[in-house]
A and B are shown apart, each in its own frame.
Chain A
C-alpha cells in the first residue's frame, strides 16, 4: 500500500475512535457533580436565573438529547460554544493549541538530540565507563517527578542566567523559542532514559549482525559504520518508543504547561473541567484523540521511511 492510501485509511479508522472517545468523555463529564450555571452566576444568583441559564444552554434536557445535539454539531463542524467564555470552543482551542504544538515538537526534537549521541556513545564502547554512565545517569530522569525537574530547571537556568523566562510563551518567534526550551527539556529528560536504553540495545544488536561485519571487512571507518549502517537500522524500534511516548505526552502536557504557565490546551482542559465547561472539555478530548492518532500515524510513516521492508497496512 502506498503512503497516500495508508494515510487515507488511517483517517477513516480514526472515526470510530473519535466516536468512542466522544461518548466516554461526554458521559464522564456529565457524571461529575457540579453546575456550570451556578458556577458562572455565583452563589447569590436566584435559582430561577440558574434554571434559565441551564435552559438556554440546553442542560435541562435529557443526556441523550444533549449527546445527540453534540454529535449533530460535530457533523456540522460545530463543537459548541464555551459556557464560561461564551465563545466558540473551536476558536478557543485555536488560540491555545499553538503552545502545546510547540511543546510537543520541541520536546520530540530535544529527545532525539539527546538520545542519538548519548546512545551511540554508549553502544560504541559497551561495558566501558561511558556506557555504564549512560545507562545509569539518565535513569535519574525517570525517577524525578516532572514538576520537580521543571522547578529545578527554572531555579538553575532561568533565575540565574535570565536567558530563559520563568514561564509564559513569549510574544514573538524568538520569545516562543526561549520560552519553550525549558518545558521541552523537562519532557525530554523524562522520555530520553527510555529512548536512550532502547536505542543503545538496538545498536548493540545491530553491531553484531552480519552486514556490520561485512561493512567493517570492507574497510569502512567505525564512524561510517555506526552512522550509516548501525544507527539507521537501530533507530526503527526507538522511533516506535518515541512515538508512543509523544502520544502519551499529548494528554499529559498539563503538568508542564501548568508549572511553566504555558497557555496551552492542557491548561485549558483543566480550567474547563473545574468550571464544568462541557463543550470545551468535549472538544479538547476530541482534539487530543486526533493528535494521538496523528502522532501514531507519523511514527508509522517514519518507520517506513527508515526501513523499506516495513509495509504499511
Chain B
C-alpha cells in the first residue's frame, strides 16, 4: 500500500475504472465490474515474443532467450503478456512513429523522499525510482498478473517451495556493468531484511541462492502463491551487489540500476531529473532524453504550468478541475483504471463499533453515489467489494450492503445504540476529497441520530493516530502495490499476520483469517478464486468498514506526450513514452 491522496495526490491502493482516451479521438472504455481471470498454474513462464524496437506498443520487454527446460510444475505468464502488441497504450497513436529526444516534465504535489527503494513509501517517490531500478517481474497491463522482466522465465518445484528464476543475459546497469544473480540475491536479501517499509511482503522467503550467474533460486517457508507478485514490488528492485563497492550511504546518494534512465540530480524539495541510460537492455529505448519531476505543491499552479507549457504532465490534478481542463486546447485529461478503493474505517476498540449492527447501519446509511457526485465530481464509481475490479479474484457478485435507509434504521434498532450516539471522524486536512467525504457523511448519518464531529489532521499525524487506534471513524483508502490480492487482504483482515490490526480497525474474524492463509498457499486458481469470493462476502457482511468508491488515477498532459499509460498499481513505464516536437 503505497501512500498518495485521492484528490491532489495521496491515498493507498489499487482499483480500476474506465478511462476516456484522447489523442486520436479514440475512446477506450475499460473494465470495471468484470470478473478477473485467475493466474493459471501448469506452464513455464517466459518473456513474450520480440517486438520491433521502434514500435510503441507497450511496457513489455523483448525476449531473446527461450524458456527454461520444463520443470516439475510451472506458472504461466499472464494472458496479457502473450500478445503484448494487441493492446496499444491508450494515449499512443498507432499511426505515429516515436520521435527521439526531449525532456518530459512532470509536476508532483509531493517531493521525492529517498532514492532507496526499500525505504520508499509514497507514490511520488516510487514512480521516479521505477525509472532507475527494475524488478524480476512486473505487473501486467491489466493489473491482474505478473509478466517477466529481468527474469525471463521461472519454474516452481512440485512441492511449491523452490522457485528457480532464469535471468535475462543482456541486462546491464547504467554504468555498463552486467547484472548477475549475485546482484539479485544481494538486493532481495537486503529488501527482505529491512525493518519497515514493505519487507513484510517477503516474509515467506526462507533463503535465496545464486547457483550460477543467470539463475536465482528462492526457497519459501511454505507454499506461497503471491511470490511472483511480491517480486514485482519496487522495494524488490535490483541494484549492484555490495552497492558496487561503495558505502551504502554514498551509493544511495547517486544510485544506479538497470532502469531506462539514470539519475542526473535530485535537488531536495525542488526537482529530480533522470537522463537516458545508454546501456538499457530494450533496443532503441527509451525515446526520451530525460525526465524531470518538479515539486509543485499548489494544485492551481500545476494546472497553470501545464497551460503555460512549462510542464508536460500534471500528476493528480483535483477532480474538480478535470472538466475545465478538458476544454483547454492542447491538453489531454485522462483517467486510468486504478485499484484504489476508499473506505470509512470503524474502530472496533470503540464500544459502539464493536457492535456489528452499528457498523452495518452506517454502511447502509451511506449514499456513496451521491457522495461520488459531490466529492469526486462524477469520476469515481460506487464500490461494493472492498477489493477493486482491477485486482485478480475480485468478485462482482459480492453481497454488499447497498444504500438503504430502512435497513440502516433496522440495523441500528437491533444494536445497543438504537437512539444514536455522538462520534468523531478522522479525515486528512490536505485532501479535498477526504474532507468532502467527512462533511457529506455527517449529513447522511443525521437520520440515524449519529452525530459526527470531524477531526481533521495533517499527514504527519494521520498514520500515528491510526496505528494507535486513537480514532472512532476514519477515512482511508487502499491501492494495492502488487498484482495479487494477498497484500490488501492480509493487511485489512488479518490483524496479526497482516501486521496492522486489520487496517487499524481491530477487525478479527478467525474464519476469514483461515481463508486468507489458505488462499496464500493455494496454487489452484479455481479454489483460490472460491476462497477470495468467500472472504469478500463475509467481510461485506461483517462491515468492519463502509466501502465508498473505486477511484481512478487522474492525469492531465500536453498533447505532445505519447504512449503515457498508468498501470492499475499506479506506476508507469516511461521507456515507451515519447514527445512530439
Contacts and interface: CB of A to CB of B under 8 A. Distances in A.
A275 B308 contact: no
B195 A34 contact: no
Contacts of B304: 151, 154-155, 158-159, 166-167
A32 B461 CA distance: 8
Nearest to A36: B460
Contacts of A260: 301
Interface stretch (B38-46, B89-97, B290-298, B333-341): B290-298
Contact of A259 (B12, B268, B298, B430): B298
A169 to B, nearest CB: 8
B197 A45 contact: yes
Interface centre among A43, A259, A270 (most CB of B within 10 A): A43
A165 B111 contact: no
A62 interface: no
B463 A43 contact: yes
B269 A41 contact: no
Interface in B205-228: none
Interface string A254-282: 00001111010001101101111000000
B430 A35 contact: no
A275 B301 contact: no
Given A261-B295, A263-B295, A33 B457 contact: yes
A162 interface: yes
A46 B459 CA distance: 19
B459 to A, nearest CB: 6
A95 B198 CA distance: 31
B284 interface: no
A257 to B, nearest CB: 9
Contacts of A39: 459-460, 463-464
Nearest to A275: B460
Interface centre among B121, B268, B461, B500 (most CB of A within 10 A): B268
B507 to A, nearest CB: 15
Nearest to B296: A261
A271 B112 CA distance: 12
B463 to A, nearest CB: 5
Interface in A23-76: 32-36, 38-50, 52-53
A85 interface: yes
Interface string B82-118: 0000000000000000000000000100010110000
Interface in B451-483: 457-461, 463-467
B305 interface: yes
A271 B463 CA distance: 16
Contact of A167 (B195, B301, B465, B491): B301
Given A34-B458, A44-B491, A162-B308, A258 B298 contact: yes
B66 interface: no
A49 B499 CA distance: 12
Contacts of B509: none
B300 interface: yes
A42 B297 contact: no
A35 B464 contact: yes
Nearest to B297: A258
A78 interface: no
Contact of A275 (B12, B198, B459): B459
B269 A267 contact: yes
Nearest to B305: A166
Contacts of A95: 267-270
Interface string A143-176: 0000000010011001100100111110000000
A96 interface: yes
Contacts of A53: 196
A276 B491 CA distance: 26
Interface in B414-448: 430
Contacts of A36: 460
Interface residues of A, number: 51
A212 interface: no
B301 A35 contact: no
Interface centre among A34, A46, A151 (most CB of B within 10 A): A34
A259 B107 CA distance: 13
Contact of A46 (B196, B300, B430, B460): B196
Contacts of A158: 304, 308
Nearest to A48: B195
A276 B297 CA distance: 17
A35 B295 CA distance: 24
Contacts of A86: 114
Contacts of A259: 298, 300-301
A35 B463 contact: yes
B72 interface: no
A40 B198 CA distance: 12
Given A33-B457, A33-B465, A44 B198 contact: yes
A233 interface: no
B458 A274 contact: yes
A145 to B, nearest CB: 13
Nearest to B122: A42
A4 B268 CA distance: 38
A261 to B, nearest CB: 4
B186 interface: no
A46 B499 contact: yes
B310 interface: yes
A87 interface: yes
Contacts of B346: none
A92 interface: yes
Contacts of B308: 154, 158-159, 162, 165-166
A46 B203 CA distance: 13
B572 interface: no
Contacts of A42: 1, 3, 121, 196-198, 463
A38 B310 contact: no
Contacts of A96: 269-270
Interface of B: 1, 3, 12, 107, 111, 113-114, 119, 121, 195-198, 200, 267-270, 294-298, 300-301, 304-305, 307-308, 310, 430, 457-461, 463-467, 491, 499-500, 504
User: Sorted from nearest, which 10 A-B pairs have the closest CB atoms?
Assistant: A42-B121, A34-B461, A35-B464, A34-B460, A45-B196, A49-B196, A41-B196, A49-B195, A263-B270, A166-B308
Interface of A: 32-36, 38-50, 52-53, 84-87, 92, 95-96, 151, 154-155, 158-159, 162, 165-169, 258-261, 263, 267-268, 270-271, 273-276
Given A258-B297, A259-B301, A263-B295, 8 more contacts: A43-B466, A44-B1, A45-B196, A48-B195, A50-B196, A85-B268, A159-B307, A159-B308
